[in-house]
Structure 1
Amino acid sequence: MDEIKSKIKVFLTRYFRNCELTDDDDIFEQGFVNSLFAMQLVMFIEKEFAITIEIQDMDLSNFRTINQMVSLIQKKTTN
């Protein structure tokens, strides 16, 4: 789990410089995400963790926080 969080944090800090995100910060609520970045985030997760994000996974609640992304990745990699 820590390795997953670390990889997500490294990815996000490339885009959200000068911002220290906690694991439960809502990146949508804070205004960091636009539609282009949302697609980049999905593509990063798919490629980095060798999973496929299905239509039913495309719920904002799966991507709002680092913890929620980790949870989605864990669900997808244990099935």
Structure 2
Amino acid sequence: MRPAARGAERVLVLTRPGCHLCEQAVAIVAQVCTETGTGYATRDITGDADLLRRYTDEVPVTFVDGVQHDFWRVDPARLRAALTRR
């Protein structure tokens, strides 16, 4: 869980241990979410067989408001735009 109270996260990043792209994506998400005052969370897919089966080749996967936004890389401008429009 990050900046907002639990349950208030608008951004979710699916990750797995040892994934360098995941580390980069989380850093970008953290920066953009801090700038916009948006909460975010990360979730390790290795603890969930369904998520692992679905997203194993796409992590990191970023969701905004429950909708898949990106995978592999996060474009900060695109994420910022998604978070500032409702």
Q: Please give the TM-score of this superposition, normalised by the length of structure 1.
A: 0.36
Higher helix share: 1
Higher strand share: 2
